[in-house]
Structure formats: C-alpha cells, structure tokens
Chain A
Amino acid sequence: MVAIKTLRVCIPAILLTGALSSFAALAQDTHLARNLAATCASCHGTNGQARGDMKPLAGMAAQQLMEAFAEFKRGARPATVMHQIAKGYTEEQIGLIAGYFAAQPAQH
C-alpha cells in the first residue's frame, strides 16, 4: 500500500520535471495545466470528480492517464469518443493534464 502511494506521488513529479524543461515555452501561464484539465471537466467532473458512468480522473496516476491517451490516439484502446478527442491534444498538453489530475485527491 505504501509502495503504491509512493509510486503515485513520484511519477507525476518525474513527469513534471521533464515537462518543465521541454514545455517551458508552452507554460508561460502558471495555470495552464489547470485550464487544460478544465476542458475535461464538462464530462469527467470538476477537477476530475466524475459522476455516474463517466471515468473519474482525480487521483489517477499521471503515467496511467498518459498511457490511456496514447492508446486512444493509436486506436489500441476501446472507445466511443475518446479516440477522437485524444487526437486534439498535444503530448505536452496531455502531460500537463495528467500531472494536474494526479495531484487531485482521489474520489471517495
């Protein structure tokens, strides 16, 4: 349990370190990750706290969300709509979105 928790904290930190160097030009607004993640909230709930049949994103490990996006993009994951939406975001943006949701408290 402890190991899993540590993993969840570490992965976003590593990813964000990478993001800071390679995505510096994009991230001139400190709220960029928050603003990008808010585009998901219409379906997945404010800050990823989803209701009903929608997948909650709050607290999801960043790596997991980034992998899901990659699979949606290449059609390797079953989807009704996410394969079409995933292709609209850049890798940099997906990294920021994943980091934002990973930092949110998981849904109860």
Chain B
Amino acid sequence: MDPGRRHLLRTGAALAGSVLTSGASRSSELSPGRVVVVGGGFGGATAARYLRLWGGHIHVTLVERNTGFTSCPMSNLVLGGYSRMGDITRTYDSLSALGVKLVQGEVIAIDASGRSVRLADGTALPYDRLILSPGIDFIYDLVPGLLPALAGGQIVHAWNAGAQTLALRRQLEAMPDGGIFAITIPKAPYRCPPGPYERACLVASYFRQTKPKSKVLVLDANPEIQSKKALFERAFAQYHAGILEYWPNAELKEVEGNLARLEFEDVKADVLNVVPPQRAGDLARKAGLVTVNQRWVGVHWLTMDSTVAPGIHVLGDATFSAPQMPKSAHMANQQAKVAAAAVIQLLKGEPVNATPVVMNTCYSFITPQDAIHIASVHQYDASERTYKTVPGSGGVSAAANPMEGRYAHAWAENIWADTLG
C-alpha cells in the first residue's frame, strides 16, 4: 500500500471515531492548519492562546485531563494558610471564548507518522502540528517505599498543585504543636528550583504563628540550596531560626510511612513531604521523545520541536533545559510563545524567528509578606544552537522585602491572564 493511501485510511479511521465533524474538516481548508496541544498547564495553555491570538484561523484543540487550571506558583501560600485554593484556581473559559477547542481527556497514544493522537475514550484528534506540554512525572523506583506511601495517602508530594496541595495543608493543620515537618528535595534538575525552600519558609511562618514548638526539617539531596542561595540562607537564619533546620547532602533513600531513611540516619516526621525525583511527563516518554539522561526531551530551541520526532513540539519542564534555564512556569510560558510563533510560520511555509529571546522572573515568599526574586534573560546563540544567558544581566534581590511580595502577587495575576486569558 502506498504511504499516501495508508495516511488517508488512517485519517479516515481517526475521523470516524472522533468528535470532529465534516464541517470542521471543510473549514480547515481555509485555515493554515490544525494544531493539537496536549497539557493545559502554563506551557500548553499559553501555546494554545497565542496560536489563536497570532495565527488567524488556525484550528487549535487543547487536551487537558483536569477540568480547571491550578497554579503551582503561589500554591505554597495555600500550604501556609495565607491563600485559598480558589486564589490559585482558574477556568479555561477564556480560552474557549478565544476559539480554542477544549477537550477534557487523557492522551494515551501518539501516531507520529499518521499525525494523530488518541484519547482514552477512543477519540482520535488529527493534527498538522502537535504541541506537548506534559510537565513532569515522578521516578518512584529510585526511592523504595515511596509509591505505596503516596498511594496510601500517608505522605503527599504536593508537587502538582490541586488535591495534593489541600491534602498537605490538612496534614499540617492536624499536626500537633511540637511536631516535625520534613521536606525532602531530590537532586537537581527538578521542577521549580526555589520551590522547596519557599515551602519550608512558609510552613515555618505558619508554625511560628500557631505551633511555635514545631520544627521544619529541610532534607536536601543536593550539596547546597539550588536557587537564591544566599537569600534563603539569610531567611533561614533571620526569620526562621529555631524552627527551620537545613541539611545538605541528605538524600532520601527509602520511605516507610512517615519515616524518611537517609544514608546514615532515619528521620521520623509527623508530616513527611517528599518532592520525588522527576523526569519528563509519561506521555513524552511513551512517545519515545526522551533523549537526554533517560529523563528529558531534547528540543530544537528555534522551534521547540523534538530532536527525534518531526512535527512534535515539546514545552516546559519536560524539556532538557538550556544552560541556566530553570524549569519554571514563567519559562514554560515564554517557550510556548516561541513555539506558537514557530508553528504558525511553519504551517504557512515561512521562515521562523532566527533570534528568539526568552526570560525568567521567579518570586519566592520567605514570609507571608516578604519575597525575593531571581531573573534571567536568555538569547538564542545560533552557533551553539541553544539559549545562553546574557553576561551581566539577570540576578537576585538585594534583600527580601514586602514590595516584591506585592509584585509576586501581581506577577501571578498577570501570568495567569497571559496564559489563560
């Protein structure tokens, strides 16, 4: 059978089982093409939105397993009791209003040669270009006992915001005064480098106010604090002395209920919060897109498409980061715009931007009011085909301050709006 006929048959079968109508396929003749975006986090939602803002009549379908959007950034404020879930939860309604077709479901297979994805309910969605923003999944088998402890609900990770955030908040509320909250940090790279240290600070703030005899123990697999190091060290010493204790080179080896086994000692916590070792989301792995260290997706940075799968673009935390590039919501939002611009150009057969720029700004609260930031600007380097930070640019706060606490809230409002509408 010739490839063209095979493609036709596959497309026909896909359409027969899908929700797409003949009207949709007819109108696609007037459109530059069809793009399916999988994953409605910061990367995927931004890509879908900017494809519609910039791409004219492009057909955009966003597949997301959850009914709404929950933000990881700002979720540590919920853990501390300083914000509510409603504050970090948004709908996809504005994306729908912009013409993005929302599909709630789970992608279980990608047919790269046939250019179609299949959902768990059997629906097939054909595409001209596919954008995956699968986020991270956890490597459970590196820590014996972790999966059963998480599955049984004795411990939570809260490294995806939502039900896990609420579960950890409830555990903290139920913990008696004098208890120990231990958070374990995996070896880098992991999602949101400063996130665990911010979490430790906000839980310590909560304890100081309501359970002052309690302790926060930060068990870091890394030899030192991974982001805003001097500022967090100062925060630990100035604001959280007597409550918060930081242990470097304290890699979690095994979990037994609330017991964290390290190399040389065991830590019995009242509330154990394990941030598990991470890799690209399972969808990317199943699709054979993981090319770096058996964990991350290699991408061409001009277009964000996979180095091994033509037509499939990958965004955000799942990618093998360029030097000094954090796995952050802000960076996913930025990469999504590079991808959206490139996909539109490719569908139109026009050259892509040869000099893209991405930048990152990340705020961390070290008390409920005071925040610190880290910022960086990354210019594309054509000779090395990657992004490089600009010498002399970027940096961190001079000191924690309440003004940046207000900016952190404003940052969140603006990036949520830029991502979701």
Contact = CB atoms under 8 A, between A and B. Distances in A.
B359 interface: yes
A10 interface: no
B410 A42 contact: no
Given A32-B355, A51-B413, A85-B375, A46 B393 contact: no
B377 A41 contact: no
Contact of B353 (A29, A54, A81, A86): A29
A46 B373 contact: no
Contacts of B410: 43, 51-54
Nearest to A97: B357
A42 B407 contact: no
Nearest to B379: A88
B409 interface: yes
A6 interface: no
A54 B403 CA distance: 12
B359 A31 contact: no
Nearest to A80: B404
B411 interface: yes
Interface in A1-57: 26, 28-29, 31-32, 34-36, 38-39, 41-46, 50-54
B334 A42 contact: yes
A42 B357 contact: no
Contact of A51 (B357, B359, B390, B417): B417
A35 B356 contact: yes
Contact of A84 (B333, B341, B375, B417): B375
A63 B202 CA distance: 42
Contacts of A87: 377, 390, 392-394
Interface of B: 50, 53-54, 330, 333-334, 337-338, 341, 345, 351-359, 361, 373, 375-379, 389-390, 392-395, 397, 401, 403-404, 406-407, 409-411, 413-415, 417-418
Interface of A: 26, 28-29, 31-32, 34-36, 38-39, 41-46, 50-54, 80-81, 84-89, 93
Q: Which 5 A-B pairs have the closest CB atoms?
A: A88-B377, A88-B393, A87-B393, A53-B410, A52-B410
